[in-house]
Structure formats: C-alpha cells, structure tokens
Amino acid sequence: MTDILFERFAVLADLTDESDWLDVRRRARHRHLRIVVAAAAAAAVAVGTAGLAATGGWVFSTHDHKVTAAETVSLNGKSWNVSVTSMRFGRLCFRVAGPGSPAPTCTGPLGTLVRARPLGAAKVKVPGGQIWLGATIGFARRVAITNDRGHVYTTDTAAAPKTAKTPFRYWALAVAGTATSITAYDAQGHSIRKSLR
C-alpha cells in the first residue's frame, strides 16, 4: 500500500540541514535568564509593597484588618491628599492634608446622608471650596456634586482590590465654592440625589 500523503509531502521536503543547534540553545538560555530576572524583580516589588494595590488614582493598603484608600485631588492649583480608612464594625474615618499641613489624624466618621444612606460622604472646607470624599456601598459607580454656581463635578467610584475584602467603593472630589447637592449613580444610570442646603 502506498502512502499518498507521504509522496506529496516528500516533494516539499528541504533536505539541506542548515540548523544551528548551538544558536538555538544559546537563545533559549538567554530567554530563560530574562524570564528568571523578570520574575525575581516582580517578586521583589510584590514583597516590598505587600498590602498595597492601585486602582485608577486610588492607592489601597491593608493593615491590622483595616483598609485605607488614598487619592490626591486638586483645587485652584493646589493638591490635597485624602484618605478613607475602614475601622471596626463598619465605621469609616477620613483624613485630608493640604499643602504644608502636617499629616492629619483621623478627622472623624463619615456622615451618612439620610436619604442616600448607602452614600457615606464628608466634606472639609479649604481655601476656595470644599474637598468631598466618601465610601459607598457597591451599587454606586459614579458620584456627581453640583456647586452653588451650577457647575457639576463628577468622579467614578473606585473598588478596592478583592484581597482587601471590603464592600465599599471610594471617591473624592474637589469642588469650587459650596456644594448644593450630591448624586450617586449606579451602573444602569439610576440615581439617588440629596440636597445639601
């Protein structure tokens, strides 16, 4: 019996051996070395930043069963460092530090908006406006704040990494003037609005 495929492929065969196995082995060795070096570098970074993760502009850290979410917002050319820390029993505290100010201690628990209970929010007055920050239950994907001049400031909420094991999504906004209302939107665009006047 004749193998038809063998005859057809035999015509296409290249019978000259141009292989350079020393070159192949050298390349494989260098590639293996690059992978090992890259893996070692990644492991060093992971060990050096244990408990840290970043989402968007937010940086999350975990320590003593607490989760801290930190972000920087700007208002009138000045940067403000904000953070929200989850405490025991679902309590949250916040910190706002501006240019030249010392590192603040926990300012206090986030105020819960009565009609928008899932939207915890707090404000700090700063020159030229207010810094608003909060932690929402997972439904809120975007927060909008309207100021006394009718300008609307919006931001997406940021989920903590799954390793943080917290249900909250975090947000912060720098608002010029005085905020008059706050609205939380879910993924489908449904909203909860609270007047701040």
Q: pLDDT for 66-107, tens place per residue?
A: 888 899 999 989 998 998 887 666 667 788 888 766 555 665
Please report, for the domain that includes residue 153, its CATH number: 2.60.40.10
What is the distance between the alpha carbons of residues 160 and 86, in angstroms, rounded to a whole number? Answer: 11
What residue numbers bound the domain in which 97 lies? 52-195
How many C-beta atoms lie closer than 10 Å to residue 173's C-beta? 24
Residue 19 belongs to a domain: no
User: Has residue 9 been placed in a domain?
Assistant: no
Q: What are the residues whose beta carbons fall under 8 Å from the beta carbon of 154, sequence distance 6 or more?
A: 142, 143, 144, 145, 173
What single letter denotes the amino acid at residue 106? C
Residues of the chain under the 50 pLDDT cut? 33, 36-55, 112-116
